[in-house]
């Protein structure tokens, strides 16, 4: 079976879901309402982050949970979906799409975050683009 493209992974999950979890999971207590978002929800959120701003994964999870009527956002799918957004948009950039037309994922993944080390293109792209935005805003 062929591996799915980043675009297919992005398009795969259509609806967000809020579930009550019956036992403690990661940093989420028992009986909490947990959001399982979608890659598109993450892309839309990231697109609203002001240029030159880096928002932590913790803050993203809190914001999305509140927006969707949950108390927490799943930490596992957060990492997966942020990676899908980053890899897909990096591919678009590599194919010639201008930076101004892709989701600015460098605003949501710190170059020092464990997730950054998993990206196929490394951390330099994250650092370079965030720094360039911060310089423009200075």
The predicted model scores a pTM of 0.94
CA distance 23 to 76: 16
Instruction: Give the residue ranges of DSSP H helices in 1-138.
Output: 6-12, 39-47, 57-67, 75-94, 114-118, 124-137
Q: Is the pLDDT of residue 1 over 70?
A: no
At 64-88, the pLDDT tens digits run: 999 999 999 999 999 999 999 999 9
Q: What is the pLDDT of residue 108?
A: 98
By CB neighbour count within 10 A (0-12 exposed, 13-18 middle, 19+ buried), where does 28 fall? buried
76, 99 Cβ separation under 8 angstroms? no
Whether the CB-CB separation of 42 and 104 falls below 8 Å is answered with: no
């Amino acid at each position: 079976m062929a591996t799915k493209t980043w675009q297919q992974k992005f398009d795969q999950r259509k609806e967000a879901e809020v579930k009550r979890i019956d036992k403690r999971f990661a940093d989420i207590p028992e009986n909490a309402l947990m959001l399982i978002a979608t890659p598109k929800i993450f892309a839309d959120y990231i697109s609203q982050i002001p240029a030159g701003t880096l928002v932590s994964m913790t803050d993203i999870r809190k914001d999305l949970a509140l927006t969707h009527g949950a108390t927490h956002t799943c930490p596992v799918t957060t990492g997966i979906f942020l990676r899908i957004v980053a890899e897909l948009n990096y591919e678009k950039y590599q194919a010639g799409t201008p930076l101004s037309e892709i989701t600015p994922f460098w605003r949501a993944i710190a170059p020092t975050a464990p997730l950054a080390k998993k990206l196929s293109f490394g951390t330099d792209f994250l650092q370079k683009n965030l720094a360039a935005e911060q310089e423009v805003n200075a």
